Amino acid sequence: MARGWESKGVEEQIAAREAELQGSKKPPADRAEVARRNKRDGLLLARARTISAMEATRDERYLTMLQSALAHLDSEIAELER
């Protein structure tokens, strides 16, 4: 009897997933959009890493360099969002 309940639960999960996929079908993204999204994600990761390094540093010269890098990353991200 437990197997019957288990298989019904699995069937319900599969049906729910299929219904979810049917409801959220989006047209496939073109290569340029995928590349733009990947570049933006990379820039956001670099930005987070830079902010983390800024919080951890005690050297003023390194902090100045990181601030410059952060400004550059922000301008690149802003350019992609246009």
pLDDT of residue 18: 79
Q: What is the pLDDT of residue 42?
A: 94
Tell me which DSSP letter residue 52 carries. H
Q: What is the model's pTM?
A: 0.63
Q: What is the pLDDT of residue 65?
A: 97
Contact 39, 80 (CB under 8 A): yes
Q: What pLDDT is stored for residue 78 in this prediction?
A: 94
Nearest CA to 67 among 79, 75, 78? Answer: 75
Going from the first residue of the chain to its last (82 residues), give the mean pLDDT of each consecutive group of 10, the final group possibly shorter. Answer: 60 79 69 90 95 96 97 94 83
Reference 50, options 31, 30, 71; nearest CA is: 71
